[in-house]
């Protein structure tokens, strides 16, 4: 459960003839998270060493996630990022090189966001609609700049703290304890511990009746520009 596309054949066809907007709009089946028990897995700071492994695990479960990528790392992983998009994952912005945006001027923030949005659009054909500010560091100036770039700010309500303890069982326990309907779960696809925990996490969430969706889906398909979200609970 949880894929946007009905059949494998369609998914394969889409991956082969990847023509973003038109094909996307026609075949897109939004998931109604007021009917379905939704949860969104999110991965920050990639693409990197373990991203391929994450994609493989997600594919095995027929599940989708949202990748908040660092703009400057996209060109070095073009085929991987294209694959992410083709497999139904949402690709979103985690800025160009991960500064605390609150320490920058409005113009510098604009540059961080615009460079990243253009690079993602160049590779996937789709401009990202979501930004996750590094360290969750945000103020009014940051939020306005995100709004100007045509995106919304995405935080989280479940923090696995994987970067801190680097332990697969602790990553799993955070998710098990804290996840509710509408949760946005924060992980990082550059840690092995999270990759080791991912299969167990997805199996657990599926057993509890959750459907894994993208962040845009959990926000009802139309997150508002310049608004900050911690979860899909409304
Ligand atoms: Ni980060």
pLDDT value for 207: 97
Give the global pTM.
Answer: 0.87
Which residues contact residue 195 at a Cβ distance below 8 angstroms, ignoring those fewer than 6 apart?
50, 53, 54, 57, 189
Assigned fold of 31-229 = TIM Barrel (3.20.20)
pLDDT value for 1: 41
- For the four alpha carbons of 214, 215, 219 and 222, in that order, the dihedral sign comes to negative
For residues 50 and 191, is the Cβ–Cβ distance under 8 A?
yes
Q: Count helices and strands (H / E) in the chain.
A: 10, 9
Q: Which of 129, 158, 131 is nearest to 142 (CA)?
A: 131
State which residues have CB under 5 angstroms from ligand 1, the bound ion: 44-45, 134
Residues of the chain with pLDDT under 50: 1-26
Domain segments of the chain: what residues? 31-229
For residues 78 and 219, is the Cβ–Cβ distance under 8 A?
no
Distance 140 CA to ligand 1 centre (A): 20
Distance 35 CA to ligand 1 centre (A): 32
Distance 95 CA to ligand 1 centre (A): 9
pLDDT value for 12: 43
Distance 153 CA to ligand 1 centre (A): 14
Burial category of 170 from C-beta neighbours within 10 Å (exposed 0-12, middle 13-18, buried 19 and up):
middle
Residues designated catalytic: 44, 188
Distance 122 CA to ligand 1 centre (A): 22
pLDDT value for 163: 83
């Amino acid at each position: 459960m949880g894929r946007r596309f009905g059949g494998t054949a369609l998914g394969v066809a889409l991956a082969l003839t990847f023509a973003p907007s038109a094909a996307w709009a026609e075949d897109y089946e939004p998931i109604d998270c007021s009917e379905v028990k939704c949860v969104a897995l999110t991965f920050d700071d990639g693409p990197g060493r373990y991203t391929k492994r994450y994609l493989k695990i997600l594919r095995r479960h027929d599940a989708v996630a949202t990748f908040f990528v660092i703009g400057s790392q996209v060109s070095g992983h073009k085929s991987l990022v294209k694959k992410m998009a083709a497999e139904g994952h949402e690709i979103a912005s985690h800025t160009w090189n991960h500064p605390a945006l609150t320490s920058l001027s409005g113009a510098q923030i604009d540059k961080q966001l615009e460079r990243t949005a253009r690079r993602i659009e160049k590779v996937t054909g789709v401009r990202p609609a979501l930004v996750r500010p590094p360290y969750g560091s945000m103020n009014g100036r940051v939020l306005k700049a995100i709004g100007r770039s045509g995106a919304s700010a995405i935080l989280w309500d479940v923090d696995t703290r994987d970067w801190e303890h680097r332990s697969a069982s602790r990553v799993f326990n955070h998710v098990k304890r804290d996840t509710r309907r509408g949760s946005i779960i924060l992980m990082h696809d550059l840690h092995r511990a999270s990759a080791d925990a991912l299969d167990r996490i997805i199996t657990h969430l599926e057993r509890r009746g959750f459907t894994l969706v993208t962040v845009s889906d959990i926000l009802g398909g139309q997150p508002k520009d310049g608004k900050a979200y911690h979860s899909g609970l409304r």
